[in-house]
């Protein structure tokens, strides 16, 4: 037991012993002295409780958002305590009034040894108020215990406001008295008033326990810190011209002796500094989330969730030859468009003098008019705003002339192209279908459709004998002339007419064929 409870129990033993004796004037004077002492103690406890209440008021005036909830609870506790305290005052006055009459004065009791007044007020069969007092004390005790968490404080309040009936010395259940009977039956007036004063003392004690608990709870859930510093948290360290740089300037506080525990994507961070590092392997936008756990002053764990994202861009250096900004009319020109720090899905582009469409991870430009410039304009969605991030002009040229060739299959079964100027096996030549054309300069790879061509053979007299093809294929007359050619002889393929994807028909350069 606490020292206070031991003192109270000892006082009960003394009072019980005195009641067993004849109530002498000395005993009554002793009760008076005890009552006066309890009154002084009540005033002291009341002043202390008022000091605690004023501290809550001061805190609320400085920080209403945090302090109001506790001040409201404290005001409610104070009001309920005052109601019960005043009710007990009224009971003391009624008992003294029955003993001394209309001129009763609780502080100056005349008939202190009256044994009937307390029983008449508190234990009367119909109008006795002892049962009501017990009910109100039990209700108040449950109300107060609802605010207390500390087990020692709860036990002290339970003992101070206990209404457990007291058994007789024999312990016989049939002779068991109620709490109010053990308190007021055959009790001298001065003793009853003293016991009620002691009950008021216990009520003020319970009120003080709750107010001190509330004052401690004002910042019990706060996190203890020993280092406060300013931090700049930018939304991005990569900012394009014309967009906004955004950053939050915050005051952060940490406890260097109690580092928080950080979990990201379900895994605990491997350091106590809150440093999150991840190796990037591919460009794009990546989201991550997690939570922080930190131990509070009251031993509870506070958890705060968070989420964020970052963007990975490829290392990029833009190098371009200004003289070679060329697009070819009539064909699909592959275009690569990238904006550093901006995901591809937020980029859009338009084009003059043609069409521009998205194709996979790239773009396809299809200009129309030769000789006129086309301009590609790129916009990007940055922070929800469509921003022009650049434009480039291109010259539009027609496709260069293709080269004619004879398609054949070599000894390994691989398709190949004979472009003239060197010996060519007659058997392979006769196996070929005819003449094809294409641009294959390793920059452009564009097939053309051959419409017609001529072959020019020379007879023994040196006369030129032209033969017309059957479209893109050798005609029978051309094949017959090839068969008659001897080793080392040559002929020419000329007047090759072909059309490309731009729809323009053009006559391309001839080739010399040497028969092996």
State pLDDT tens for residues 317-334.
Answer: 565 656 678 999 888 899
Alpha-carbon gap, residue 161 to 137, rounded angstroms: 7
Q: What radius of gyration, in Å, describes the C-alpha atoms of the chain?
A: 53
**Same domain, yes or no: 97 and 27:** yes
**Same domain, yes or no: 91 and 207:** yes
**Same domain, yes or no: 134 and 108:** yes
Per-residue CA distances from 397 to 329, 376, 441, 444, 502 (Å): 6, 16, 16, 13, 11
Domain final residue pick, 217, 251, 277:
217
Residue 251 lies in a domain: yes
188, two tokens: 């001298």
**Same domain, yes or no: 341 and 196:** no
**Same domain, yes or no: 162 and 294:** no
Q: What is the pLDDT of residue 246?
A: 74
Task: Map tokens 């009341």 to a residue.
Answer: 46
**Same domain, yes or no: 327 and 440:** no
In contact, 443 and 454? CB cutoff 8 Å? no
Residue 264 lies in a domain: yes
Find how far residue 441's CA is from the centre of its chain. 56
Q: What is the pLDDT of residue 174?
A: 41
Domain final residue pick, 291, 312, 333:
312
Residue 473 lies in a domain: yes
What is the domain range of residue 382? 322-397
Q: What is the pLDDT of residue 272?
A: 77
Residue 130 lies in a domain: yes
**Same domain, yes or no: 173 and 245:** no
CA-nearest of 312, 311, 365 to 336 is 365
Residue 222 lies in a domain: no
Residue 279 lies in a domain: yes
Alpha-carbon gap, residue 471 to 434, rounded angstroms: 9
Residue 338 lies in a domain: yes
**Same domain, yes or no: 272 and 247:** yes
**Same domain, yes or no: 64 and 205:** yes
DSSP state of 361: T
**Same domain, yes or no: 263 and 294:** yes
Give every residue of the chain whose pLDDT is below 50, as ranges. Answer: 21-22, 172-174
Any bridge partners for residue 303, and if so which?
293
**Same domain, yes or no: 368 and 416:** no
3-state secondary structure of 21: coil
Domain final residue pick, 312, 337, 358:
312
From first CA to last CA, the distance across the chain in angstroms is 123
Residue 317 lies in a domain: no
Number of domains in the chain: 4
**Same domain, yes or no: 377 and 270:** no
In contact, 260 and 293? CB cutoff 8 Å? yes
80, two tokens: 């309920």
């Amino acid at each position: 037991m606490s020292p206070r409870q031991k003192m109270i129990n000892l006082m009960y033993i003394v009072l019980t012993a005195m009641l067993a004796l004849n109530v002498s004037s000395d005993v009554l004077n002793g009760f008076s002295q005890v009552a006066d002492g309890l009154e002084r103690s009540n005033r002291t406890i009341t002043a202390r409780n008022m000091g605690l209440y004023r501290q809550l008021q001061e805190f609320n005036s400085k920080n209403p958002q945090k302090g109001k909830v506790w001040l409201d609870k404290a005001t409610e506790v104070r009001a309920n305590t005052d109601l019960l305290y005043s009710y007990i005052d009224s009971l003391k006055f009624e008992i003294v009034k029955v003993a001394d009459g209309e001129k009763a004065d609780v502080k100056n009791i005349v008939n202190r040894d009256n044994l009937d007044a307390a029983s008449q007020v508190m234990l009367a069969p119909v109008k006795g108020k002892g049962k009501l007092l017990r009910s109100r004390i039990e209700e108040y005790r449950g109300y107060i215990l609802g605010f207390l968490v500390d087990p020692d404080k709860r036990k002290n309040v339970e003992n101070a406001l206990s209404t457990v009936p007291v058994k007789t010395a024999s312990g016989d259940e049939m002779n068991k008295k109620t709490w109010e009977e053990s308190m007021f039956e055959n009790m001298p007036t001065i003793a009853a008033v003293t016991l009620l004063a002691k009950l008021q003392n216990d009520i003020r004690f319970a009120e003080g326990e709750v107010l001190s608990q509330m004052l401690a709870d004002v910042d019990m859930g706060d996190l203890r810190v020993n280092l406060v510093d300013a931090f700049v948290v930018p939304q991005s360290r990569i900012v394009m011209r014309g967009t906004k740089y955004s950053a939050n300037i915050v005051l952060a506080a940490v406890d260097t002796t109690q580092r928080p525990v950080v979990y990201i994507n379900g895994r605990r961070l491997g350091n106590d500094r809150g440093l999150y590092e991840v190796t990037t392997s591919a460009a794009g936008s990546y989201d991550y989330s997690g939570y922080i756990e930190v131990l509070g002053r009251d031993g509870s764990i506070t958890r705060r969730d968070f989420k964020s994202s970052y963007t990975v861009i490829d290392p990029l250096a833009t190098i371009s030859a200004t003289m070679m900004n060329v697009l070819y009319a009539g064909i699909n020109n592959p275009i690569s468009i990238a904006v550093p720090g901006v995901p591809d899905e937020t980029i859009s582009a338009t084009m003059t003098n043609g069409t521009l469409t998205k194709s996979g991870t790239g773009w396809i430009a299809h200009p129309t008019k030769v000789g006129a410039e086309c301009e590609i304009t790129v916009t990007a969605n940055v922070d929800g705003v469509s921003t022009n991030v650049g434009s480039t002009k291109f010259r539009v040229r027609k496709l260069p002339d293709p080269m004619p060739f004879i398609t054949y299959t070599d000894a390994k079964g691989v398709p190949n192209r004979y472009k003239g100027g060197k010996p060519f096996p007659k058997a392979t030549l006769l196996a070929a279908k005819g003449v094809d054309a294409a641009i294959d300069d390793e920059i452009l790879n564009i097939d053309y459709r051959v419409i017609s061509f001529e072959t020019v053979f020379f007879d023994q007299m040196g006369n030129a004998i032209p033969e017309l093809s059957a479209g893109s294929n050798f005609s029978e007359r051309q094949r017959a002339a090839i068969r008659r050619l001897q080793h080392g002889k040559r002929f020419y393929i000329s007047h090759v007419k072909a059309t490309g994807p731009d729809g323009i028909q053009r006559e391309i350069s001839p080739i010399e064929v040497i028969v092996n």
